[in-house]
A and B are shown apart, each in its own frame.
Chain A
Amino acid sequence: MAGELAVIVDSVKSVSEVAGADVPATSHPIPLSNVFREDVVGHVLTAEQALSGAPDADENRFKVPAILDEE
């Protein structure tokens, strides 16, 4: 996979050539702004629904093995 990645990376490097300092970046293709939602409660899932896909659960909470590192 490393070889494939190298080929891909090389071919995309050309992108930085053409993108000059004077060209602004476009993060969103269609310009929109101020799309908001009113602060009104909508739907919730039941705990059962929320946990329906859980690989492991206990007392309505998702269960995970020991966490090594505290964030």
Chain B
Amino acid sequence: MTQEIIRSTAAQLAEKLAAKELSAVEVTQAHLDRIAEVDGEVNAFLHVNTQEALAVAAEVDAARAQGEELHALAGVPIAVKDLIVTVGQPTTAASKILEGWHSPYDATVVKKLRAAKMPILGKTNLDEFAMGSSTEHSAYGPTRNPWDLDRIPGGSGGGSAAAVAAFEAPLALGTDTGGSIRQPASVTGSVGVKPTYGGVSRYGAIAMASSLDQIGPVSRTVLDSALLHEVIGGHDPYDSTSLQESWTGLAAAAASGDVKGLRIGIIKELHGEGYQTGVENRFNESLELLKAAGAEVVEVSCPNFQYALGAYYLIMPSEASSNLAKFDGVRFGLRALPEDGPMTIERVMGATRAAGFGDEVKRRIILGTYALSAGYYDAYYGSAQKVRTLIQRDFDAAFAQADVLISPTAPTTAFKLGEKLNDPLAMYLNDVATIPANMAGVPGISIPGGLADEDGLPVGIQFLAPARQDVRLYRAAGALEKLLEEKWGGPLLAQAPVLGGAK
């Protein structure tokens, strides 16, 4: 029973709950059991929210029994990346500096989950303060890829992706600043979406790079992400950068399965050299499938994308260095005292940050402080903001020729834990295909594209759409998913190694 439940999609669970074939408590309990079974190995969860999740599930069951009207996803459990604040559970950002910290307020998206009565299973692991591409920079140990426990699950949102890939949760929330939802989806064979910038409220997402961050859905299917996107999206008066649009029609687009006449642009600069052969092969296969289904596939060029990585690694650390200044041991979180010397607040702040932040965080704060400093601003941060303009122009030109753009999500499949830890630059290159979307603010999705021949590990296919046209992502991705699953005879995750006791 548990297996049936946990292997269902969110849409399927919603249907069964509405039909009273399953109770919300059963569904939540099944997932809690699964977490207990496998999370010792996977380490996707930093906190499991047993009591409250079951209480919410019980509320749903009682309400349904009374015939009350409930949200379509009521009773469908969800995991939340531990970068998003939740009342009643700790929010650590996977950092020592926030160990055990309890937020007195809920993120707007969490309020929406509560309003929909979706039980929150717990908080998932990430690279500390979302800085990383492998979840190895978590202060609480890495999360492991359910496809191969010696490999990374991607980052920074490796916890959320691994949780859905390991069937610990049907849905999760992540955040994406440079690919932190899409790249983990890619290497774990799951689905992840970065909405149009401003499409989902950032209020309550611990800020990394304010002009790049977005909260987005993580799931196993395109339809599931669409359903979740419709819950969390929309204008928020607490977020000045949030858009007025409300997001409807996404689920319908995901289910439509039709790409006839859809113009799909292959981004010349985002495939080929530097991309693993297996990744390239699966990418080409997807292109063939789409062509055969009636899509018009063209090649577009975005020449300024080659500067995107550099610009990103200037804008992001700069904004992050400012956003992380608040962690100083005064109002919340860790306070560490200097070992010797005068006990001044200046020294306490320094000691706290030295003890509380990991190396990658320190690296980026130093980089960001440097890039913003007088005399360097124009050449670094200032120039990077100009590159953003150029990247937007490239996208504008590309979208004049195509309705959606396509690329592999990441240049490689999941690498081994520890493999790139000593080479930050090599680590940063994981984001080369995902970063442009954040820079421009356009939406992107990653769906499973198959397994690479050489290592049998998942490959991700990325679609990008113009700003505010998130619906196009769901249409294109839904269609490709259907074509691929027909080819595979089922979802890709059905091919994943079985974890846990029930082998």
Please determine if A and B sit in direct contact within the complex, based on CB atoms under 8 angstroms apart: yes
Verify if B146 is at the interface (C-beta below 8 Å from A). Answer: no
Task: Please name the residue on chain A nearest to B332 by beta carbon.
Answer: A53
Distance in angstroms from B471 CB to nearest chain A CB is 17
Verify if A52 is at the interface (C-beta below 8 Å from B). Answer: yes
For A60, list chain B residues within 8 Å (CB): none
Verify if A8 is at the interface (C-beta below 8 Å from B). Answer: yes
CB atoms of B211 and A23 under 8 A apart: no
CB atoms of B392 and A29 under 8 A apart: yes
CB atoms of A25 and B104 under 8 A apart: no
| Residue in A20, A30, A62 whose CB lies within 8 Å of B330 | A62
Per-residue CB proximity of A13-34 to B under 8 Å, as 1/0? 1111011100111111110100
**Complex formed: what's the CA distance from A61 to B186 in Å?**
48
Verify if B293 is at the interface (C-beta below 8 Å from A). Answer: no
Verify if A41 is at the interface (C-beta below 8 Å from B). Answer: no
CB atoms of B424 and A14 under 8 A apart: no
**Complex formed: what's the CA distance from A27 to B272 in Å?**
31
Interface hits, B435-493 → A, CB 8 Å: 439-441, 467
Verify if B343 is at the interface (C-beta below 8 Å from A). Answer: yes
Verify if B388 is at the interface (C-beta below 8 Å from A). Answer: yes
CB atoms of B310 and A25 under 8 A apart: no
CB atoms of A11 and B366 under 8 A apart: no
Verify if B399 is at the interface (C-beta below 8 Å from A). Answer: no
| Residue in B330, B333, B348, B387 whose CB lies within 8 Å of A18 | B387
**Complex formed: what's the CA distance from A13 to B386 in Å?**
13
Count of inter-chain pairs, beta carbons less than 8 A: 143
A69 and B346 contact, Cβ closer than 8 Å, known pairs A1-B362, A56-B335: yes
Number of interface residues of A (CB under 8 A): 41
CB atoms of A14 and B392 under 8 A apart: no
A67 and B367 contact, Cβ closer than 8 Å, known pairs A18-B387, A26-B389: no
Per-residue CB proximity of A42-71 to B under 8 Å, as 1/0? 000100011011111000001011111100
CB atoms of B441 and A29 under 8 A apart: yes
For A8, list chain B residues within 8 Å (CB): 313, 363, 367, 424-425, 428
Task: Please name the residue on chain A nearest to B243 by beta carbon.
Answer: A30
CB atoms of A23 and B104 under 8 A apart: no
Distance in angstroms from A31 CB to nearest chain B CB is 10
Distance in angstroms from A26 CB to nearest chain B CB is 4
**Complex formed: what's the CA distance from A60 to B378 in Å?**
44
| Residue in B329, B345, B379 whose CB lies within 8 Å of A67 | B345
CB atoms of A15 and B345 under 8 A apart: no
A53 and B101 contact, Cβ closer than 8 Å, known pairs A8-B425, A64-B330: yes
Most B C-beta atoms less than 10 A away, residue of A54, A56, A64? A64
| Residue in A5, A13, A30 whose CB lies within 8 Å of B198 | A30
Most A C-beta atoms less than 10 A away, residue of B367, B386, B428, B439? B386
Task: Please name the residue on chain A nearest to B362 by beta carbon.
Answer: A1
Verify if B5 is at the interface (C-beta below 8 Å from A). Answer: no
CB atoms of A29 and B370 under 8 A apart: no
**Complex formed: what's the CA distance from A37 to B380 in Å?**
34
**Complex formed: what's the CA distance from A34 to B311 in Å?**
28
For B138, list chain A residues within 8 Å (CB): none
A15 and B307 contact, Cβ closer than 8 Å, known pairs A28-B211, A65-B344, A65-B348: yes
Per-residue CB proximity of B199-229 to A under 8 Å, as 1/0? 0000000000001100000000000000000
CB atoms of A65 and B389 under 8 A apart: no
CB atoms of A29 and B439 under 8 A apart: yes
For B345, list chain A residues within 8 Å (CB): 64-68
CB atoms of A16 and B366 under 8 A apart: no
Verify if B384 is at the interface (C-beta below 8 Å from A). Answer: yes
For A16, list chain B residues within 8 Å (CB): 378-380, 383
CB atoms of A55 and B329 under 8 A apart: yes
Verify if B33 is at the interface (C-beta below 8 Å from A). Answer: no
CB atoms of B307 and A30 under 8 A apart: no
CB atoms of B424 and A15 under 8 A apart: no
**Complex formed: what's the CA distance from A18 to B104 in Å?**
45
With A12-B311, A32-B240, A55-B329 already in contact, 12 other A-B pairs whose C-beta atoms are closer than 8 Å: A5-B366, A11-B310, A13-B310, A15-B387, A19-B390, A26-B389, A27-B211, A37-B237, A53-B102, A55-B333, A67-B344, A68-B345
Q: Report, nearest first, the 7 A-B pairs whose CB atoms are least far apart.
A: A29-B441, A53-B332, A55-B335, A19-B386, A25-B385, A19-B383, A12-B310
Write 5 A-B pairs (CB below 8 A) sorted by A numbering: A12-B311, A19-B383, A35-B241, A45-B104, A53-B331
- List residues of B whose CB falls within 8 A of some A CB: 101-102, 104-105, 196-198, 211-212, 237, 240-241, 243, 304, 307, 309-311, 313-314, 329-335, 342-346, 348, 359, 362-363, 366-367, 370-371, 378-380, 382-390, 392, 424-425, 428, 439-441, 467
